[in-house]
Structure 1
Amino acid sequence: MIRVLVVDDDYHVAHAHALSVARIPGFTTVGEAHTGAEALELVASTAPDLLLLDMYLPDFSGLELVRQVAVSGERVPDFLLVTAARDIDSVRTAMQLGAFYYLVKPFTFVALREQLEGYRTWVERIDRSPEADQHVVDALYSLRGAPPRRAATTRSLQPTMARVLEIVAAAPAPIGAAEVAEILGASRPTAQRYLAGLVTKQLLDLDLTYGSTGRPEHRYVPRRA
């Protein structure tokens, strides 16, 4: 379960965000903070995995909060900016400090859900990767850098095909139809049909590897941006 601390100066907005987080599988809210000082205390006491972070706080900015956590010696949570700040300097600084994404207010629940689901896939990929070879690094950066495009595309997919795409994206290495079928709970031909469809849609790449018999094995990876 991914633990989220919501940080927003508006009590009603913070509570609405917390309710939205609770609707998304795999996430739970560990608290709501309305000032930078309160957020610092809750980061220390609740150890969240992710901050849903507003830029404008009454005592100091959301980005200053990230800096203060870093120098305090506490573990720095990942953070996703949800803010009305539209100036490019804020966006650039957020990227430099490692923001997973920058979501400009106002936004819909669907937009927030897409970003959190993208983050969840990114975390799952990290947890399942014992070491970072170049393939894993490329996949992690792809997941971190392009969740909006991927999420917008998956909205047009039927549910089973979208689930197959999610399985491949979360795999720590190129994955075959038999493995996808096992996770999906379907037959291998069914999984193969969906995988082939995702290759046709240019959402997956086919990675041919040769086994001991010399015959190529079809394995799949997310399409690189």
Structure 2
Amino acid sequence: MIRTLVVDDDYRVAKVHADSVGRVEGFVSVGQAHSCEEARTMVQALQPDLLLLDLYLPDGHGLDLLRSLGELTLDPRPDFIVITAARDIASVRSAMQLGAMYYLVKPFGFGQLREQLVAYRQLHDGLGEHAVANQQTVDALYGLLRGPVARIADSRRMPPTMAGVLDIVRAADPDVSAADVAERVGVSRATAQRYLADMLRRGLVELVLNYGSKGRPEHRYRVKRPA
């Protein structure tokens, strides 16, 4: 389970977010903090995997809180998703520089939060499966977080080759490799892989790792399933 700490100065909002976390498979809310000081204490005591972090806190800024976590004995330091009303680009840029998994601007619905939590869970699980990563694996892992941002579900709006690749993945039972796609579309494997990587980033397909009897796992693809 991914142990999640909600940090928000509004007690009601914090409870809503904590309840939302509990509704997503693979997550558990371990607590709610309402100030920087309380959050630091709870992070030290609970060692959460993930913070849902508001930026406007009564005794400081959420990003300053993150910087101060370096003073604590944490192994590793928790990941974080920003949940805030702050819309200024400076805050967005600073959050990105500090390693934010995502930046959700209030108000947002449960569906948006669930989408990002599922993407984070997939990344979290994927990182745990690899001791060493090649570029293809790195691209796939980064694509897990980027996927929900820019989905294009209608193949009629895509370039013809991409639409053909997506149609083959849709028809696959249960999944398909880049080599299979290349053969059926009539393009090189590298071209098929490039389109598959792009669709992975868009959130149209998802990566399936097929572990054989030996060697590195085969990368296969299937249509993105609902969370």
Structure 2, unpaired ranges of 5+: 155-168, 182-194, 208-217
With over 3 angstroms needed to count, the CA separation of the structure-2 counterparts of 1:145 and 1:222, relative to structure 1, is farther
Match for residue 95 of structure 1? Answer: 96
Q: CA deviation at 1:135?
A: 1.5
Measure the CA separation in 1 of the matches of 2:57 and 2:20: 21
Q: CA deviation at 1:76?
A: 1.4
Q: For residue 57 of structure 1, what is the amino acid of its counterpart?
A: L
Match for residue 9 of structure 1? Answer: 9
**Equivalent residues in 2 for 1:59-78, closer than 5 Å:** 59-74=59-74, 75-78=76-79
Match for residue 50 of structure 1? Answer: 50
Measure the CA separation in 2 of the matches of 1:9 and 1:97: 21
RMSD of the TM alignment (CA)? Answer: 3.2
Structure 1, unpaired ranges of 5+: 157-176, 178-188, 207-217
Measure the CA separation in 1 of the matches of 2:205 and 2:17: 33
With over 3 angstroms needed to count, the CA separation of the structure-2 counterparts of 1:205 and 1:111, relative to structure 1, is closer
What per-residue deviation string (whole Å, max 9, x for no partner) do you get for residues 17-42 of structure 1? 00010111100000000000000000
Match for residue 190 of structure 2? Answer: none
**Equivalent residues in 2 for 1:130-141, closer than 5 Å:** 130-141=131-142
Measure the CA separation in 1 of the matches of 2:68 and 2:115: 28
* Runs of 4+, deviation exceeding 6 Å: none
Measure the CA separation in 1 of the matches of 2:71 and 2:5: 19
What per-residue deviation string (whole Å, max 9, x for no partner) do you get for residues 41-84 of structure 1? 00000000000000100011111111000233423100000000
Q: Does 1:190 align with 2:191?
A: no
**Equivalent residues in 2 for 1:55-204, closer than 5 Å:** 55-74=55-74, 75-149=76-150, 190-192=173-175, 202=199, 203-204=204-205
What per-residue deviation string (whole Å, max 9, x for no partner) do you get for residues 105-139 of structure 1? 00000000000000001111101112122222222
Match for residue 192 of structure 2? Answer: none
The alignment partner of 1:190 has SS state of coil
Q: Select between 126-135 and 105-114 the one with higher mean Cα deviation.
A: 126-135
The alignment partner of 2:143 has SS state of helix
TM-score by length of 1: 0.69
The alignment partner of 1:191 has SS state of coil
Measure the CA separation in 1 of the matches of 2:138 and 2:175: 26
What per-residue deviation string (whole Å, max 9, x for no partner) do you get for residues 166-210 of structure 1? xxxxxxxxxxx9xxxxxxxxxxx73158x97x97x954599xxxx
